[in-house]
Amino acid sequence: MELDADFDAKLDKSGVRFTERDVELLEAIREHGSLNKAATELELSYSRSQQRIVELEDSFGQLVERQRGGSGGGGSTLTENSEQLLGEFARLEAEFTGLTEVEETVFRGNVIYRDGELGTVETDAGDIRAIVPSVTDEVRVAVRSDAVTLHAANSVPETKTSARNQFQSTVTDIVDGDRLAQVMLDIDADTELIALVTQTSVKTLELTPGDAVLATFKTAGTRAYPVNPPYSE
């Protein structure tokens, strides 16, 4: 995959370019849980939107998981691959907008459960699922701002997202860039959670300080480090 160094950030693979408009489409699918609703929100035709998803998936792999209608109704959700692609695009855009550093939020806590390399860390923000060290229980959990996804408050049940870490939060501040924004979130902890999102997300969610939002981030993208690394000679 190549990074295009034009002013407008793009990801290029097999001759297909993933652009800001594609980000808007995927983020709208994530928000509405439906390709049809996403197309309507963006004032696009359903057939053209569906065609674009197929074009992207031919080069970048599966991006949208489609569920046919039934007793619970149909819908569309983003795949893990899609979330990784959006994160990569956000990091690329940060280089163009002056938000060159992808900040981390760090929570201090203790590992209370292990399942192989994964575990649950008890923090003042609540329990966080993360990749944990095997040598100690006292850890710092680092959450990259570009790994945090925002949703309308109470709008995403657990069955609609693979993100194990979900926190109801309140927006305290928004630092705007040209295309990205850093959103500061109060999650009822000593430390605020920082999310790096596109301006499209800010607009779609109509974010302003004081708004309630659901912040999510995946276990696989969250890592815990020992507070006091073991000494080695």
Same fold, 2-97 and 104-226: no
- CATH no. of 104-226: 2.40.50.100
**What pLDDT sits at residue 19?**
87
**What pLDDT sits at residue 108?**
94
**What pLDDT sits at residue 69?**
60
Task: List the structure tokens of 64.
Answer: 């949208």
Please tell me whether residue 40 adopts helix, strand or coil conformation: helix
**What pLDDT sits at residue 151?**
87
Model confidence, pTM:
0.66
Which residue, among 76, 70, 54, 52, has the nearest Cα to 161 in the 3D structure?
Answer: 76
Please tell me whether residue 17 adopts helix, strand or coil conformation: strand
Decide if 52 contacts 25 (C-beta within 8 A).
Answer: yes
| Residue 89 burial (10 A CB sphere; 0-12, 13-18, 19+) | buried
Please tell me whether residue 31 adopts helix, strand or coil conformation: helix
**What pLDDT sits at residue 106?**
93
The residues spanned by each domain of the chain are 2-97, 104-226
Per-residue pLDDT of the chain (233 residues; tens, 9 = 90+): 443 434 355 688 888 889 888 988 998 898 888 999 999 988 999 999 999 999 999 999 999 998 776 444 468 888 888 888 888 887 777 666 555 567 889 999 999 999 999 999 999 999 999 999 988 899 999 998 888 989 888 765 444 555 689 999 999 999 987 778 899 999 998 899 999 888 888 888 899 999 999 999 988 879 999 987 655 44
DSSP 229: P
Decide if 184 contacts 230 (C-beta within 8 A).
Answer: no
Tell me which of 1.10.10.10, 3.30.200.20, 1.10.150.130, 3.40.50.300 is the CATH number of domain 2-97: 1.10.10.10
Place of tokens 């020992």: 226
Q: For the sheet containing 10-13, what is the strand order?
A: 2-4, 10-13, 16-18
Dist. CA 38–CA 24, nearest whole Å: 9
